[in-house]
Amino acid sequence: MASETGVPRSRGQARQGLIGLLLLGLIGAGTACQESAVAVLEPGPTSDWPHYGGDVGGTRYSPLTQLDPANVEHLEVAWTYHTGDVLASNELGLGTSFQNTPILVGDTLYLCSPRNKAIALNAETGEERWVFDAEVDTKGVMLLLCRGVSYWRDPQASPGSLCAERIFMGTLDARMIALDAATGRPCPEFGEGGEIDLSQGIGHRYPGEYAVTSPPLILGDLLVTGAMVLDNVRVDAPGGVVRAYGLRTGELRWSWDPLPPGREYVEGIDASGETVRYQRGTTNSWSILSGDAERGLVYVPTGNTAPDYFGAQRDGLDYYSSSIVALSLESGEPVWNFQTVHHDVWDYDVPAQPALFDFPGPSGPIPAVAQSTKLGHVFLLNRENGQPLFPVEERSVPRDGVKGETLFPTQPFPTRPASLHPNRLTSEDAWGITPLDRWDCRRKIESLRYEGPFTPPSVEGWIGYPSYFGGGNWGSMAVDRGRGLLITNTSRMASVLRLIPREKFLETMKAAAEKGEVPPLWEPQEGTPYAMTRDFLVSFLGLPCSPPPWGTLVAIDLATGELRWEVPLGTTEDLAPFSIGLPLGVPNQGGPIVTASGLVFIAAAMDDYLRAFDVLSGEELWRGRLPAGGQATPLTYRVGPESKQFVVVAAGGHALMGTTSGDAVVAFALPD
């Protein structure tokens, strides 16, 4: 299932000044002041960024070299654009999340705002060229976000004609819209007046329960898309069908209903009178797809089968859950699949875009794919057949779940790379900045069950570590082709979860509200014997009980699977109740990019910065302040030989993380 959830800002802001003074006495902290300087704009290659992940294989790699480790310290803000689409809080108490990565085609940036405004900008000045508003009704919608748009040039169209070049945007109300890239006008021959209704055949859905939040894959002459389905709402949630449409007229070419092999769904009518063509309650693909044009394959990362934390009624519908599935581009039929979690009842989705690369085999390059998961696992697979390139061990895990649940006896663990997330948490590991809040964390850990990441869900309560936040998440990875490195970021927060017997659900919520103990997520899991609740494991100060770093950036050698380096990602500067920026590493959402010159750019962390790191050592070389939370993946481009290399990031925050909200697109470049 979709897990587009985040970490709330820490509580206890009233103690901010006192704790800051305490920490200053314990740890020396300083900020180096840089002298302004004029940097030389070196010649070098030019490059665009035509896909969400840089290329259709999701490598987030740029061949650009104008910015390098020697001059990156001189980066400064070149321009800022404001979308005007920001909401602090809706009727559900949630605001917008600006998780967008623009794409660059020619000299134009294309992006989408959280409530589905498609926008075109001059890539060198940030000047607005056009805006198209999809006019989505967001009443009752929980997740307000749009991660990106996609581009296609029609080879049969005359240059300059209407919709010869197109921008595609999925919407929160389950439409796919095609726009003329030059003007932002809908393409009349695509679907009905420029759009297709993706809710057709899905059946009944609540507001915001079924939406397209990630950009579609453009491969060959097809547009391929999945959809987000809200977590833990009900057993018969909308199905997770993946569909392919013709790019010119929007006709349906094929659909993959993720049913177990040999099972077919017969079209019917649901209780609301709506047509249902696809099995309800199946796993969905809410994240970003990748493609291999040479092999005609679409790589689909899948989420969980409804609902997340009780699976006794799935009846085999989780056959493709928490997996990477390779589909035939021609037919939509599965070619192979690799499951990262068996019978997932922990919300350990495969949330990230698969990243394609060539593995240096003994007889020559092996076409490969890297897949990260919420567990902090990275699986390196042969992308032609799904076979692991390094051994994967099936290890025994606890099986004593709640009545009616049948847990899988083993779970897959990659041996190389080893897990990027700790699998141990005891009361002795409890963290705190004072003896009192450390004692509070010890007490909480001792009261909950934890036997590793696959601790069985229970009514008594258990610790999720990794949490449903990750580990890895939708920010995915970057592949440095020349150096053979994989760069990725992880979060390391623990969560506390509890199943609630159905008959006690309302009573439990009422009692918690009366005590002022309402957690951020009460989830019904309708149709099962259990509702559930989840929160993050924090002390009374609102600080994590798990030890830091709470966020890391790592480099993996793709040839050996070994860890090259690991550094904390982010500081506590914007994390209450801290008042200073301790380099402890903080939870993060968004991903890295890498350049040929040896730079890694990433925002993501809960402090409001874009950072540059040395790809070989992990040393932080530069950071630039953002006007809001940078929970998005940046991009970089250079449109011509006389132009600057820009690094651009969306800075608008993440509603569920509680980071600074905003609507800014910020471009950095070297000074004139």
* Amino acid at site 162: L
Is there a contact between 583 and 569 (Cβ–Cβ < 8 Å)?
A: no
Please state, as a whole number, how many other Cβ atoms lie within 10 Å of the Cβ of residue 149: 26
The DSSP call for residue 570 is: -
Asked if 558 contacts 357 with a C-beta cutoff of 8 angstroms, the reply is yes
Mind giving me the DSSP string for 585-625?
---B-S--EEETTSEEEE--BSSSEEEEEETTT--EEEEEE
Q: Which two tokens stand for residue 41?
A: 């704009």
Which residues lie across from 191 on neighbouring strands?
A: 195
The single residue listed with the structure tokens 């103690």 is: 15
Count of beta carbons in the 10 Å neighbourhood of residue 162: 16
Three-state secondary-structure class, residue 191? strand
Closest CA to 545 of 656, 420, 447: 447
Q: How far is CA 648 from CA 62, 216, 288, 602, 665, in A?
A: 13, 21, 20, 10, 7
Instruction: Measure Cα distances from 395 to 4, 247, 289, 418 in Å.
Output: 28, 45, 29, 14
Q: Of the candidates 667, 491, 487, 666, which has an alpha carbon nearest to the alpha carbon of residue 592?
A: 487
The DSSP 8-state label assigned to residue 398 in this structure reads -
Q: What does the alpha-carbon distance between residue 253 and residue 245 come to, in Å, rounded to a whole number?
A: 5
In total, the chain counts a number of residues equal to 672
Rounded CA gap, 142 and 130, in Å?
28
Q: 60 vs 52, 355, 529, 593, 594, CA distance in Å?
A: 8, 9, 43, 5, 6
Whether 345 contacts 339, CB under 8 Å:
no
Given a contact cutoff of 8 angstroms between Cβ atoms, the answer to whether 488 and 477 are in contact is yes
**Cα angle 148, 151, 155; round to 5:** 170
- Look at residue 565 and give its three-state secondary structure: strand
DSSP-derived letter for residue 118 is: E
Cβ distance 239 to 202 under 8 Å? Answer: yes
Q: Is 347 a catalytic residue?
A: yes
Residue reference for tokens 């996609």: 150
Compute CA distances 124 → 49, 54, 493, 513, 669, whole Å: 14, 18, 39, 52, 10
DSSP category for residue 553: E
C-alpha distances in Å from residue 22, one per residue of 28, 429, 439, 578, 579: 11, 21, 18, 10, 10
- Give dist(CA 234, CA 523) in Å, integer: 9
* Token pair belonging to 437: 């809040």
DSSP 8-state assignment for residue 216? P
Specify the 3-state DSSP secondary structure of 364: strand
> What is the residue-wise DSSP string for 441-499?
HHHHHHHSB-SSTTPPP-SS-EEESSBTTBSS-TT-EEEETTTTEEEEEEE---EEEEE
Annotated active-site residue in 55, 173, 308, 347: 347
Separation in Å, CA 536 to CA 352, 451, 489, 521: 22, 17, 19, 10
Rounded to whole angstroms, the Cα distance separating 256 from 559 reads 34
Enumerate the active-site residues.
Answer: 347
